[in-house]
Amino acid sequence: MIAARTVWPALIPFAAAVAALGLILAGLTLVGYAPGEVLATAWRGLAGSPLRLGIWAQEATPLLLTGLAAGLAFRCGVLNVGTEGQYLMGAVTALAVLLALPPSVLSPWLAALAGAGAGALWCALAYGLDRWRGVPLVLSAILLNVVAARVLGALVEGPLHDPTTAAPQSALVPEAARLGALLPGTALTLAAPLAVALAVASWLVQRQTALGFEFTVIGLNPVAGDLAGIPVESRRRLAALGSGALAGLAGAFQVAGVTWFLSGDAQSYGYAGIAVALLGRLHPLGMIPAALFFAGLDISGRQWERRLGIPHDLGDVAKGAAVALVLAAGFFRGRR
Amino acid sequence: MSAGILVDALLTGAVAAATPLLVAGLGELAAERAGVLNIGIEGLMLAGCFAAFAVTAATGNPWLGLGAAVLAAMALGGVFAVVSLTCRADQIVAGMAVNLLAVGGTGAAWRILQDRGLTDLPAGSGFTRGWTGIPALGELPVVGPLLFDQYGMTAFALVLAGVLALVRRRTRLGLVLHGVGQDPHALAASGVRVLGVRWGAVLFAAACAGLAGAYLSTMRTHAFVPLMTGGTGFVVLALVMFGRWSVGGLVVGCLLFGLAESAQQGLQSLPGARVVPHQLFQALPYLVALIALALAGRSAPGPAALGRPWPER
């Protein structure tokens, strides 16, 4: 009985992922592609060699971190839909630190700290507007996402601009200041094991500590939490700050270890993190397969586009469909 | 340039920028009055924006494009309604899923359009300014540039605003809509199908968002670029709240925001403006929206049941 009740819900995201993928495959079959070839292309791109597997893990890392960020806040009932802005502010702050400090082994870690701090501050701004000025967090966070993208654009073309090019992109982080690759040929860095460790840590905090229990209670029913003597506001503040910090960390690691520069181009790891969190049913460990699924769709999409001429954005459609299916299956019911 | 022309340009630009916000905002207002907060409005606008462009590019008929925009946005709005109303998932996360679907769907479809070489509207197929067809009207002082030298959507938005205000004040439908968002229990007890009303409101809001999107790609500009809406839908959400969930408040909010947007563009073109990065000018309207909301404070709560599922258990 207990087994049935806990196992079934855990299987829903997997079923949703398969169904979403099936939907895409069915659509492609209808317009004349061979589903076997589509799948084989995806598989070769994902797991064709150890190098490919490394790239898969590399791509999943920022998604796992932003997923953990969104999940931490959502579990506590703080609907931080501002992970995108927090990710961007984390990335650009880390970049500024990396470019300003003399390069050393410590640089990427200082940048990670700065990025996490910037993400937390950006979330604190949204949270403060909610708490003290009555602007709903959902609105303040989502508007600050747009502002963050513009701020990043201005910094990238202004103080952080690469003087050797006219393109709107920042200078390159010096090699000595980068986070080293664990697997040559990829940008798989220590960020990946660290993200997994953070997922495990989140799960342990959620399961084993009073704090984790309080977060869960507040998320399920803040009134009950308040009556039980939980300091609801201070816990929510903590969840918001932690959430922003994780999103900022994701951006910082991406700059220090993967891209080494920033441009004004649209990014979406922050938005995708919300979807990863939902697909993982807000379970820190569930977000690991969810992040791998999303990263897998990104990589497969690019492979499909290159080899078969299928638009890579179809991967995004599959993401949206998977999340919609998980929600439709009764997860994250609207709160009272 | 004389000051008069400058002011004229500023105001014309303000109305042009306010129009899509008002059209989408009126729909969202109706939905929120019925208790449904749809963050996915950004995605619905994007879907409408793309569908209008694609169908106009393919057929050369902008009216067909307009229809396609409404249908595409309503289809996506239907997905939102199934997930958030029928399956009772949290409205905010359901809205985020809709945004994701719209970004992916329009991105993929845009590639297909590019492959077929349909990246421009056929010459003369987009809508043109001066919806009355009488150029003289556009030259009238004040009302000319504000009302007549605009796209038809502006006139439609104002009519729709009037109709919605009337419906709200004078009809049973208006009362029911309000009640469903305020106290669904009471309405259900008196025999109103709460879910049905909410479904209707969501689909109406989707249609409006689709029209607003079409305005962006077949009227204000005759082009589409991926992620074209760039946060406009989120501003609409802010404006509905800023306007205290009233039609009049929304109209005022949209005009103020349109003015900020128009002024932002004007400021950018001033000779000394090069010192300030243009992105900061682009961020200005969003900051204005945030500051306006922050100053407006929490004096008027929204519909009591906003964002809550029905039935509650």
Return averaged pLDDT per consecutive 10 residues of chain A, 336 residues in all: 58 90 90 90 91 94 97 93 96 95 92 97 95 89 92 89 87 90 90 96 94 92 91 95 97 94 84 91 93 94 89 87 87 62
Confidence tier at B274 by pLDDT (50, 70, 90): low
Residue A2: inside a domain, yes or no?
A: no
Does B147 lie at the interface with A, CB-CB under 8 angstroms?
no
CATH of the domain at A266: 1.10.3470
CB contact under 8 A, B298 and A134: yes
Residue A9: inside a domain, yes or no?
A: no
Residue B112: inside a domain, yes or no?
A: yes
Percentage of chain A with pLDDT > 70? 97
Residue A26 token pair: 């069915």
Is residue B307 within 8 Å of residue A139, measured between CB atoms? no
| Least confident among B39-48, B178-187, B275-284 | B275-284
- The answer to whether residue B241 scores a pLDDT higher than 60 is yes
Residue B255: inside a domain, yes or no?
A: yes
Burial class (CB in 10 A: 0-12, 13-18, 19+), A197: exposed
CB contact under 8 A, A332 and B91: no
Residue A313: inside a domain, yes or no?
A: yes
CB contact under 8 A, B97 and A323: yes
Is residue A100 within 8 Å of residue A79, measured between CB atoms? no
CB contact under 8 A, A313 and B290: no
Amino acid present at A43: W
| Closest to B307 measured CA to CA, from A136, A85, A67 | A136
Instruction: For residue B128, give how far its alpha carbon lies from the nearest alpha carbon of chain A (Å).
Output: 30
Does B98 lie at the interface with A, CB-CB under 8 angstroms?
yes
* B244-251 average pLDDT score: 93
CB contact under 8 A, B231 and A81: no
CB neighbour burial string for B63-81, b if at least 16 within 10 angstroms, e if fewer:
eebbbbbbbbbbebbebbb
Token pair 């349109």 in the structure block, residue:
B258
Selecting from A158, A264, A334 the residue whose C-beta is nearest the C-beta of B91 gives A334
Establish how many alpha carbons lie within 13 A of residue B39's alpha carbon, considering only the half-sphere containing its beta carbon: 27
Residue A319 token pair: 């993401």
Q: How many whole angstroms separate alpha carbon A99 and alpha carbon A107? A: 9
The range of the structural domain enclosing residue B253 comes to 3-120+145-296
Is residue B66 within 8 Å of residue B211, measured between CB atoms? yes
Residue A229 token pair: 């003597």
Q: Rounded mean pLDDT of chain B?
A: 89
Q: What is the pLDDT of residue A71?
A: 95
Q: How many whole angstroms separate alpha carbon A63 and alpha carbon A42? A: 19
Is residue A328 within 8 Å of residue B87, measured between CB atoms? yes
Residue A29: inside a domain, yes or no?
A: yes
Is residue A275 within 8 Å of residue A295, measured between CB atoms? no
All residues of chain B having their beta carbon less than 8 Å from the beta carbon of residue A138 are: 37, 39, 92
Selecting from A135, A157, A329 the residue whose C-beta is nearest the C-beta of B294 gives A135
Residue B313: inside a domain, yes or no?
A: no
Percentage of chain B with pLDDT > 70? 96
Q: From the CB of residue B97, how many other CB atoms can be counted at a distance below 10 Å?
A: 31
Q: How many whole angstroms separate alpha carbon A70 and alpha carbon A186? A: 27
Task: State the total domains in chain A.
Answer: 1
CATH of the domain at B273: 1.10.3470
All residues of chain B having their beta carbon less than 8 Å from the beta carbon of residue A133 are: 293-295, 297-298
| Closest to A273 measured CA to CA, from A107, A133, A72, A99 | A72
Residue A3: inside a domain, yes or no?
A: no
Residue A4: inside a domain, yes or no?
A: no
Collapsing DSSP to helix, strand or coil, A263 comes out as: strand
CB contact under 8 A, A332 and B93: yes
Choose the most confident range, by mean pLDDT, from A192-201, B224-233, B255-264, B304-313. Answer: A192-201
Residue B26: inside a domain, yes or no?
A: yes
All residues of chain B having their beta carbon less than 8 Å from the beta carbon of residue A266 are: 227
Q: How many whole angstroms separate alpha carbon B213 and alpha carbon A316? A: 21
Residue B140: inside a domain, yes or no?
A: no
Summarised one tens digit per residue, pLDDT across range B148-201 is: 888 989 999 999 999 999 999 999 999 999 999 999 999 999 999 999 999 999
Q: How many whole angstroms separate alpha carbon B213 and alpha carbon B208? A: 9
Task: State the total domains in chain B.
Answer: 1
The range of the structural domain enclosing residue A154 comes to 14-328
Residue B135: inside a domain, yes or no?
A: no
CB contact under 8 A, A311 and B279: no
Burial class (CB in 10 A: 0-12, 13-18, 19+), B103: buried
* B135-153 average pLDDT score: 82
Residue B11: inside a domain, yes or no?
A: yes
All residues of chain B having their beta carbon less than 8 Å from the beta carbon of residue A320 are: 97-105
Summarised one tens digit per residue, pLDDT across range A162-191 is: 888 888 889 899 988 899 899 888 899 999
Q: How many whole angstroms separate alpha carbon B286 and alpha carbon B291? A: 9
CB contact under 8 A, B308 and A336: yes
Closest chain B residue to the Cα of A152, Cα to Cα: B279
Q: What is the pLDDT of residue B273?
A: 67
* ipTM for the assembly: 0.86
Does B290 lie at the interface with A, CB-CB under 8 angstroms?
yes
Q: From the CB of residue A212, how many other CB atoms can be counted at a distance below 10 Å?
A: 17
Does A335 lie at the interface with B, CB-CB under 8 angstroms?
yes
Strand partners, A161: A170
